[in-house]
């Protein structure tokens, strides 16, 4: 069976993401300074993560910042072996859900842990990082 006739082209593309953070910029500023916070709706009390300017439960736009702390417990994880095109050049990685004190679940990369060593229930800690573009982000590491 022969391959269908086709034209091939290989070009690099640059993906640009502009994520509006006008109402939640404080989260990123605090993260840079070592604090890990999120939003709590002042109308219904719902705690959201990532921070939400508008409550996903009652749609109120009124919220307050609450400290999450940095200690967490690994709930589940997956080892991403086939890296998406937007992460080309990055080694396979682990992405996980960690539960912080109070029950809020946080999705983040898990750094410094081999897939065979990751276990639900293991103690984690949130750490902040700065991307090559200068953007703050957060990861889990083993506690």
Q: Rounded to the nearest whole angstrom, what is the least distance from the CB of residue 42 to Zn ion in the complex?
A: 8
Q: Rounded to the nearest whole angstrom, what is the least distance from the CB of residue 120 to Zn ion in the complex?
A: 30
Decide whether 27 or 77 has the Cβ nearer to Zn ion: 27
For residue 133, give the DSSP letter: T
Decide whether 60 or 130 has the Cβ nearer to Zn ion: 60
Q: Rounded to the nearest whole angstrom, what is the least distance from the CB of residue 104 to Zn ion in the complex?
A: 15
CA distance 105 to 95: 13
Decide whether 41 or 96 has the Cβ nearer to Zn ion: 41
Q: Rounded to the nearest whole angstrom, what is the least distance from the CB of residue 115 to Zn ion in the complex?
A: 37
Provide the token pair at 48.
């959201």
Decide whether 46 or 73 has the Cβ nearer to Zn ion: 46
Q: Which residues of this chain interact with Zn ion, rule CB under 5 A?
A: 41, 43-44, 46, 55, 57-58, 60
Torsion sign across C-alpha atoms 113, 66, 17, 107: positive
Neighbours of 72 (CB within 10 A): 25
Distances from the Cα of 100 to the Cα of 17, 31, 34, 73, angstroms: 28, 15, 16, 7
């Amino acid at each position: 069976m022969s391959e269908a006739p086709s034209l091939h082209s290989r070009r690099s593309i640059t993906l640009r993401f502009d994520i509006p953070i006008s109402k939640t910029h404080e989260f990123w500023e605090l993260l840079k300074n070592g604090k890990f916070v999120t939003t709590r709706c002042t109308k219904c009390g719902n705690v959201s993560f990532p921070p939400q300017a508008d409550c996903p439960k009652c749609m109120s736009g009124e919220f307050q910042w609450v400290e999450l702390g940095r200690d967490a417990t690994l709930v589940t994880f997956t080892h991403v072996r086939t890296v998406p095109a937007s992460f080309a050049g990055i080694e396979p990685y682990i992405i996980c859900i960690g539960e912080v004190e109070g029950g809020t679940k946080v999705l983040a990369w898990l750094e410094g842990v081999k897939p065979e060593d990751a276990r639900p229930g293991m103690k984690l800690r949130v750490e902040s990082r700065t991307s090559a573009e200068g953007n703050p982000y957060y990861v889990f590491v083993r506690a």
